[in-house]
Every structure is written in C-alpha cells, then in structure tokens.
Amino acid sequence: MLRWVVLLLGTVAFCQNNKRPLFGTVTSPNYPIPYPNSNKSTWDITVPAGYHVSLSFLVFDIEPSENCYYDFVKVMADGKELGQFCGPVNSLTHPGHRQLVSLGNQMRIHFQSDFSNELDGDVIPYKGFQAFYHAVDKDECAPPSDASGTWTPPCEHVCHNYVGGYFCSCFPGYNLQSDNRSCKVECSSEMFTEESGFISSPGYPEPYPPDLKCNYSIRLEEGLQISLSFQEPFEIDHHPKARCPYDILKVFAGDTMLNSFCGSHSPGMVTTRSHTVDIVFETDDSGDSKGWSLHYTSEAIPCPYPEPRDTYTIISPEQNIYRMRDYIVVTCQTGYKLMEDRKELSSFSTTCQKDGTWHRPIPRCDIVTCEDPPVLTNGQYTFLTAPGRLEYRSAIQYRCNAPYYNMVTPNGSDTYTCSAQRQWKDDNGGVKIPLCLPVCGKPDNSVESYERILNGKKAAPGNFPWQVFISINGRAGGALIGERWVLTAAHVLLPDTEDNEEKNLTKVHVFMGSLEVKHLLEMGNHPVEAFYVHPAFRKGSYDNDIALIQLKNPVVMSQGVSPICLPSPEDEDDIYQNGRKGYASGYGVTEKHTIANELRYVYVPVASWQDCETYVDGKKKSIKDHTNRQKYFLSKNMFCAGFPEGSLNKGDSCQGDSGGAYTTPNKQDTWVATGLVSWGFNCGQGYGIYTKVSNYVDWIKSYTEEEE
C-alpha cells in the first residue's frame, strides 16, 4: 500500500509492501513553497538489512550562513555526521551532486530553520529541499575503506557477496560449521570404493590444519589387493628423539596396523595384501607441515599357474599370471577328448576366484576311440596299425573275399583311419565303406574241353557255378546274374498248361550251390521276393521268353555259386557267329530219357540264322494242327544252337533244362549268358532254340541296377 508519512511537518514518500522500502523521497516542510521559520524536522530512513542507504539532493535551496548557523540540513548515519548543508549551489556548504552513503541500513536527516529569512531588510523566499534515497547493495565481503579500526572478515575462508547479503564457504576438505562462517576439516569417515584413486591430507600441499582426526577407508571387492604409493613432498611434524609424538599417520589392513609414519621421508610403496585399508591421520593443535598425498591402486589376487595334466591339453589364453576374474578355456589336440573324472566334456572353462583358487580343476585329455569298423559284406578288414586298437589314427584295410568278389570303393581307397570325429574315414575323408560285388563269368574250374562231345557230360565242381535249379510244376533251370537275381525263361514261370496267369511266388523254389539234386534239396531253397516276366511275352508263343526272379536275400558267392555275366555290345558280333562254341547245362532229361540226378552239360555250337530258319520251317510243316504250328514262330529274339537233324552228334538241351543258360566264353575269357533254353522239337534231333539274351540287357538292368 502507498503511505505518506509526515514527521514534524516534513514528508517522506515511499512505496511499501509490508516491507522496508528500497527507495523514496524526502522534502522540506511545505515544499515546494518556502519552508517556515523556526522549524525543526527529522526523517529516519531504514532499508532492508544487507543494504546501504544512498541519498542525493535533487533540489536544495536553504538560507546561506557562516557554518550554516541559521538554517541547515544535517545528514547522519552509523553514529556520525555525514554532512551539514546550506547556501547556494556553488557554495562549499551546498551538497551539490554528492552521494551520501551509510555503512548500515539506516540514515537520519535533520532540518532546522531560524526565526527569519531576511537579507538587508527584505524577506527572501527559500524553497527548501527535495532529496531521493534508495537502497544500495552492501558488499559485506569487502574490507572497509576506512582502515582506522580493526576489521574481522565475515567468513573464515571464502566470502561470497550477493544482492542483499552474503554467504561463506570453505576450502576443499573443510566443512562449514553451524555459525555459517567457521570452517573445520571433516575427515573422520571418508569412504573410497573405486579400484584406484588419490587421497591427501587436508589442504595438501599447504599446511594441514590442527586438531585433525581423519579416517580414510578404502573398501574394495574381496579378491583385490590394495597398494599405497606415497608421493613427494611428504611432511608430517615429528620429533628427533621420540617417534611421532605430535602428528601421526597410521595404515591398517583389516584389523592389523601395518605401520605408522611421520617426518619428511616418504614411505614410498606400501603393499597391504588386503581389500580393506584404513588410513588414520591425527594431529595436535600446532604445526605448519605440508602433509602427505598418496595414489592407491588395486590388483586382483593371483591364482596358481594352470598346469596341464598331459601333453595333449591346450590352455588359452596364455598369460604369465592369472588373477581374480581371469578365466581360461581348456581344449585338446585333434584326436583327443576332454575328460573330467569319467565324464566326457563338450567344452571346459574355469575362473580364478577371489580366494586365489580355480573354481574347477583342469581336466585331462584322453585319446578318442572309434567303434568297431563297419562290417564289409563278403569281405573283411585287417589292421595296418596295432591289431584291435580302435583309437585315433588307427588304420584298417578292407578286402573282399577273392576270387568271388571284387571291391568297388566310393573314393578309390580301401584304407580307412579312425578320425578325430570318431568315424572311420578313407584317404579322401569319405565315410562310406567299399562294396564287394560278385565276380561274374569267372568259374573256378572252367570247362576246357571244347571238342565235340556226344550227348551230355557230368559237370565238375566249379564248371557252372551260375547254374540254378528251379522247381515249379516240375524241373527248370536258371542262371544267377547277381546276388539277388536269377535269369530264366518266361514260360518256366507262366507255362501254357496253367490257365491262371497270376504270380504265385509260393510255387517257385530256387536252389543252387551243388551238383547233386539231392544235396540241393537238402541245402534248402532261396526264398523268392518277386519275379518279373518280360511284358511282351505271351502264352502260346516263345517270343520274348525271358524273366527275372528276385530273391529275398543275397546269395553268398563261393566255388559252387557265382554269377554269369551279361553280354556286352562288344560281344554281339562274336558270340552269335555260326559255329561259335557254347555250353548248355542243367538237371533235365538225359539222352537215356531219365531225370538227371547231377548237373550235366553239353557242347552245342551256334547255328547260322539261315540253317536255323530252314530247320524250323521244315519242322513246322510236319505239324498238322495249324494253331499249334503258330506257336513255333522264329523271331530275331532267338537263335539256334546244336547239330543238324540226322547228325551223329546228338548234344542238346531237353525237358527240365528250360530257362537254363547257354553260356559262351568271350574274347576276354569271361563267360557270358548268350542265351536261355527256350524250346525245340525233339531232344537230340536237330537244333535247340534259345532266347537271345543280348536283346534284353537293357530290360534286365532296369531291374537289377535300380535295386543297387
């Protein structure tokens, strides 16, 4: 609120908001009309604490007199007079543009006039004065310009002035006390938790204050060891004849005091071997020594150097020393495995602990071993290294049962080594083992007498190991061409005498491996998985008279059992030439019209196509039944072998031999299945007609190679 205060006819104008004013005006009584005679007026000005009062006169018109004896204005502050003024503008007693400033926050203005204002009998109208005052910030921190008295600084250390007041602060390491001006070191509970740092006495390198009881605590993670490095200068009050009687610095590791220090000789490096350190600094009430400073560092506790348990262990990373939180990874050289007790580990690492031990002991490395080498069907392996040892780098060599099997290798190698991956691998890293494939067309005891033989002859062991005895509504023959495949004539499996064309596997019995029928039957049959008749074969005709029998289980080759080869394109112009020697074998009717009890064979040469055709045409003319005559159709899927009708040589195949192979040694001395016994007119009285196998090689392989 705006208030006007009138004191003894004078006025003071100021703006106040329930606070002490920061500025205002003071005027003489009746201003601006002349002031009255015989007047005494006083104005007291107060501004907020922390400010000075600054006063200046805007208008000043007071009767002049010597020493301002008659009329005057007097300004007072801080218990003393700042000035007494009167007279005209240019007089020595006029205030002019002076700024009158108090030291405190108060000022008094006193006005006095005498009984008249006359000059030479005339009345002079003097207006009086108008003064302006305002609050001026007081710099409590600055020493007074008047140095006559004793001045006490408001702050013990540092004074900070601001508008309307001031505050005190302390040097680093000191705390401001409750009086807000005094400073005292507070170092009784300093805590350091970083792994390195600096600590010094208060005020270092300036002299430290008196009466200190400092405690600097370093608290680090367990497993770290603290070292103290004292710097220069190092200076603590001491006595030449007594140990540290005044001031003393003590170093504790845990509860144990390591040492105490004073004097001017630096302790240098102090190793505590602890993760908790206390530094206690106590001083008396006097002295001017510079104090001390140190740099503390920490180092993790070391673990024992990890020693491998064998020469195959690899430890990484390699370091000269391993400390807390360091870790190592343990691996093995190629071909070895990590073992912890009896347990195999896929990986291993261990960490240096805070107590200086490894959290897991180092494992060992044992050599890896492979399982027994895969069994090679119809073969075996031999160790190239120590027999029976299955460990890393052990080597074996596979071989097939000769002479009945040949080896086929995936990568051209028959040698396998136990690898670091615990697999048997060949020289090229392959894991697939070789195959032992039967050797075809190489009988142990090849027929060597190629001269013409009248009628049949008993076969010797090893002459015709591909010979198969088939029992199905009677006797028939076949030829082994693979481990699970038998080649025979289609009419053997689908004879004209049966109306049902469905395949009845239970009626097909296959025997092999002996020359004697009795022994064959005692040995047992080979179960049949399926059979496949050539799709172009039709009952009532012998064209495409060829079929395949698939066995359930592979046959093991031996002297008495091994396959015949199929003819190759290169054999075509050789094995079907007129007069080319070949052999038919079987367990069929003999020349004496009896059933053979043993395997017999006969030499029968290939006949020319012209002779064969003439012979068949002649025989067909003698058949009166036209329907029956069509059955004996001669096609290019057939050939004739044997001797002309009426010849003294009677060698031929007969009933019971159907489906058996007509075989020929080719130019490479390999026996091939040239034909299959198919049909004829009368046994031993002219040519026999055979299915031409070379025309069906692709059809045969479409089954046999698909299985492989």
Active site residue 179: no
How far are the Cα atoms of 206, 259, 350, 445 from residue 290, in angstroms, in the given order? 5, 20, 49, 117
**Residue 647 annotated as catalytic:** no
- Residue whose tokens read 């699970």: 484
Residues 6 or more apart in contact with residue 448 via CB below 8 angstroms = none
Find the Cα–Cα–Cα–Cα dihedral 92, 95, 101, 103, rounded to 10°.
50
Kindly report whether the global pTM for this prediction surpasses the value 0.85: no
**Which region among 14-18, 40-44, 195-199, 652-656 has the lowest average model confidence (pLDDT)?**
14-18
Is the pLDDT at 633 greater than 90? The verdict is no
Neighbours of 587 (CB within 10 A): 27
Give residue 230's identity as a one-letter amino acid code: F
For the chain, give the mean pLDDT. Answer: 88
pLDDT at 689 over 70: yes
Counting residues of the chain whose pLDDT is more than 90, the rounded percentage is 66
CA-CA-CA-CA torsion for 10, 16, 19, 22, nearest 10 degrees? Answer: -80
**DSSP code string of 359-408:** SS---EEEE-BPPSPPP-TTEEEEESSSTT--BTT-EEEEEE-TTTEEEE
Mean pLDDT of 560-587: 93
Q: In angstroms, rounded to a whole number, what is the distance separating the alpha carbons of residues 236 and 293? A: 11
pLDDT of residue 570: 93
User: What is the reported pLDDT for 464?
Assistant: 96
Torsion of CA 476, 482, 484, 488, to 10 degrees: -20
pLDDT score recorded for residue 647: 63
> Between 1.10.1740.10, 3.40.50.12780, 2.60.120.290, 1.10.3720.10, what CATH number should domain 2-137 receive?
2.60.120.290
Lowest mean pLDDT among 80-89, 280-289, 446-455, 616-625: 446-455
Per-domain boundaries in the chain: 2-137, 187-300, 302-367, 379-438, 457-705
Q: Is the pLDDT of residue 566 over 90?
A: yes
Annotated binding site for Ca(2+): 63, 71, 114, 116, 137, 140, 161-162, 165, 247, 284, 286
If you average pLDDT over residues 688-702, what whole number do you get? 95
- Indicate whether 653 pLDDT > 70: no
Residue-level pLDDT at 550: 96
Better-predicted residue by pLDDT, 292 or 21: 292
Query: If DSSP codes are grouped into helix, strand and coil, which group holds residue 302?
Result: strand
Cβ pair 152, 164 in contact under 8 A: no
Largest CA distance in the chain: 204
Please state which of the four CATH numbers 3.40.190.10, 3.40.50.1170, 2.10.70.10, 1.10.1200.10 is assigned to the domain occupying 302-367.
2.10.70.10
Q: What would the mean pLDDT of 549-563 be, rounded to a whole number?
A: 95
Range from 230-234, 335-339, 657-661, 704-708 carrying the lowest mean pLDDT = 704-708
Cα–Cα distance between 688 and 638 in angstroms, integer?
Answer: 10
Encoded tokens for 281: 């600094």
Confidence label for 152 from pLDDT (cuts 50, 70 and 90) = confident
Which range has the top average pLDDT, 153-157, 243-247, 266-270, 496-500? 266-270
Residue 449 has pLDDT above 60, yes or no: no
Domain 302-367 matches domain 379-438 at the CATH topology level: yes
* Position 10 confidence tier, pLDDT thresholds 50, 70, 90: very low
Q: How confident is the model at residue 4 (pLDDT cuts 50, 70, 90)?
A: very low
Higher pLDDT, 114 or 454: 114
Which residue among the candidates 545, 571, 652, 657 is catalytic per the annotation? 545
pLDDT band at 260 (very low <50, low <70, confident <90, very high): very high
CB 425 within 8 A of CB 417: yes
CATH number of 379-438: 2.10.70.10
Q: Which residue has the tokens 């080896």?
A: 407
Query: Thinking of the domain 457-705, which architecture would CATH place it in?
Result: Beta Barrel (2.40)
pLDDT in the model for residue 652: 47
pLDDT at 452 over 60: no
Cα–Cα nearest to 661, from 483, 467, 459? 467
Query: Do 583 and 564 touch, CB atoms closer than 8 A?
Result: no
Q: Kindly indicate the confidence band of residue 257, based on its pLDDT and cuts at 50, 70 and 90.
A: very high
CB 258 within 8 A of CB 212: no
pLDDT in tens, 606-617: 999 999 999 998
**Partner residues linked to 194 by β-bridges:** none
- Which segment of 74-88, 144-158, 495-509 scores lowest on mean pLDDT? 495-509
Query: Which one is catalytic: 110, 238, 275, 491?
Result: 491
Q: Would you call 707 helix, strand, or coil by DSSP?
A: helix
Report whether pLDDT(236) > 90: yes
Kindly state the percentage of the chain with pLDDT values over 70: 90
**Highest mean pLDDT (candidates 240-244, 437-441, 591-595, 656-660):** 437-441
* pLDDT reading at 28 higher than 70: yes
Quick one: pLDDT at residue 589? 58
Distance between CA atoms of residues 603 and 233, nearest Å: 124
Higher per-residue confidence, 426 vs 455: 426
Q: How far apart are CA 390 and CA 418, in angstroms?
A: 7
Q: Is residue 450 very low, low, confident or very high in pLDDT (cuts 50, 70, 90)?
A: very low
pLDDT at 648 over 70: no
1 pLDDT above the threshold of 80: no
| Catalytic residue check, 491 | yes
Q: Which residue out of 200, 298, 541, 658 is catalytically annotated?
A: 658
At residue 618, the pLDDT reads 87
Model confidence at 226: pLDDT above 90: yes
Q: List the single range of 127-141, 173-187, 235-249, 353-367 with lowest mean pLDDT.
A: 173-187
Binding-site entries: 63, 71, 114, 116, 137, 140, 161-162, 165, 247, 284, 286
Pick one of 2.60.120.290, 3.40.50.300, 3.40.50.720, 1.10.468.10 as the CATH number of 187-300: 2.60.120.290
Could you tell me if 420 and 334 are in contact, meaning their C-beta atoms sit under 8 angstroms apart?
yes
Q: What is d(CA 398, CA 435) in angstroms, rounded to the nearest whole number?
A: 10
